[in-house]
A and B are shown apart, each in its own frame.
Chain A
Amino acid sequence: MADGTPLLHLLIKEKRFAGVPVLAGLVLSVAAGELVALVGPSGCGKSTVLMLAAGLDGDFTGERHLAPHVHPAVHFQEPSLLPWRSLAANVDMALPAPQRNKGHAGRWLGRVELPVQSHGQFPTQVSLGMQRRAALARTLAMGSDLLLLDEPLVSLDAALAERLRALLLQQMQERPGLGILLVTHDLAEAAQLADRILVLGNRPAGVINELRPAGKRGERSPQQISMAVRQLNTAEPLQSSIIDQSNTEKRPEPEIPWK
């Protein structure tokens, strides 16, 4: 898929939980070659947005469009590994049957720095952090053009998290058609990795702010990152990229080529 092609377009008019609206008037899109971060206070509905984007929850009013032949790979906040299968078998499960048991699983587990001895172990025999990394390997192994990642690096030690961020950036470099939607509560992480940052807020939640940090993804200086974090923390929406909440309904919809 060419750089810039839209991969996902999601319009949430309203999403309710037990009758209570939790999301409203939210527009989100991810294009090929783009890493979009979704930030916001915990409990504001970031993970819910991800589930809707993944198509795992169809109970909302609005629209969801995926580019043809795109099957998003989802990384859940909880590892969600099959407890009765080894780490390697869990990664293999994400692959189509003919590609299983061919060493792909071992390679991907290696890339998230899981030692070879752990590949044959059951999830209950390794730490939660290792389970999370195995789940990330599973998501990446699928080879999807669209990754939907829910806090993939949470609870990992700082150095390891940094190396895995580099792995994500490397994936973006190697595969120009790849788009990533990254849900994170870590503003610095978003400011370091993302091309665009969407800030979720209010109740029911919508995108209250959108920021394109200065500099190139992955190459930003500490000053640029802390500048972006400051901008994200300011309550005032930024001039350059305000999404006006009051007339979301009237706003013309973006052009979607396959519609």
Chain B
Amino acid sequence: MRTALSTLLILIVWQVAAWAVAGPTLPGPVLVGGVLLREAAAGQLWLHLGITLARVAAAFILALSIGTAIGIAMGRSSLLDNVMGPWLTLALNVPALVVIVLAYLWFGLTEAAAIGAVAVNKIPNVVVQVRAGARALDPALARMAKAYRFSRWDRLRHLLLPHLQPYLFAAARNGLSLVWKIVLVVELLGRGNGVGFKIHLAFQLFDVASLLAYALAFVIVAQMIEMAVMAPLERRACRWRGDHG
């Protein structure tokens, strides 16, 4: 109910602003909604949205798995942490745009270069979060795992990953938003399809309505992923915390 009211409020502000501007630089929600429906009916919206989503998913999975592996290693080994710490600082501070342009220059305007560039941009953030989690492991539980001679696999599956769950969810949450923003840049610079490509076209044609329509579509999809996937997963993973039992 509150969400609906706040959404309505944004739409009203937007419409009032559009009336005030009264020109093609800021089309109102009704106009943008019309473009959205037209694009959806023509199938264009689904095509470009689907391609962008596939790229987001690929880069996201790649970044999360590689970042988690590196983060655990760095969090549990001070040697690795010392060796790789400076590299991490460097990687965190390289601008996304530089990575994207370099990837395209070195590996060509390919799908692999595009997805790889997005993943490389996201990995350092995942590493930082997972490393903090791995460092915070309860020493009593680590000792217990040693006493009961947990295998490497048991340690990972029953001790480290469940412990890291809240950190992984945090990494996944802001990972998703960061990844999709970078995917649009990658598409704008070197892909012939996707939401980023459409926004590029809209920019060249000064078509603000299309630009807003595509941005709006993606925001709605991101919200749906949060509500349909992330939130239920997190609830399930946190059952043991006691406040649900």
Contact = CB atoms under 8 A, between A and B. Distances in A.
The answer to whether A and B come from one shared complex is yes
B35 to A, nearest CB: 47
A128 to B, nearest CB: 13
A80 interface: yes
Give the dominant DSSP class at B's interface.
Answer: helix
Contacts, number: 53
A80 B240 contact: no
Interface residues of A, number: 23
B148 A94 contact: yes
Contacts of B226: none
Contact of A76 (B144, B154, B239): B144
Contact of A82 (B149, B159, B241): B159
B242 A80 contact: no
Contacts of B162: 82, 84-85
Interface stretch (A13-21, A117-125, A173-181): A117-125
Interface string B148-167: 11110010001100110100
A54 B159 contact: no
Contacts of B146: 56
A130 to B, nearest CB: 13
A93 interface: yes
Nearest to A75: B147
B140 A82 contact: no
A188 to B, nearest CB: 28
A183 interface: no
Interface string A51-65: 000101000000000
B240 A84 contact: yes
Contacts of B241: 83, 124
* A-B residue pairs, 4 tightest by C-beta: A124-B242, A84-B162, A80-B144, A122-B240
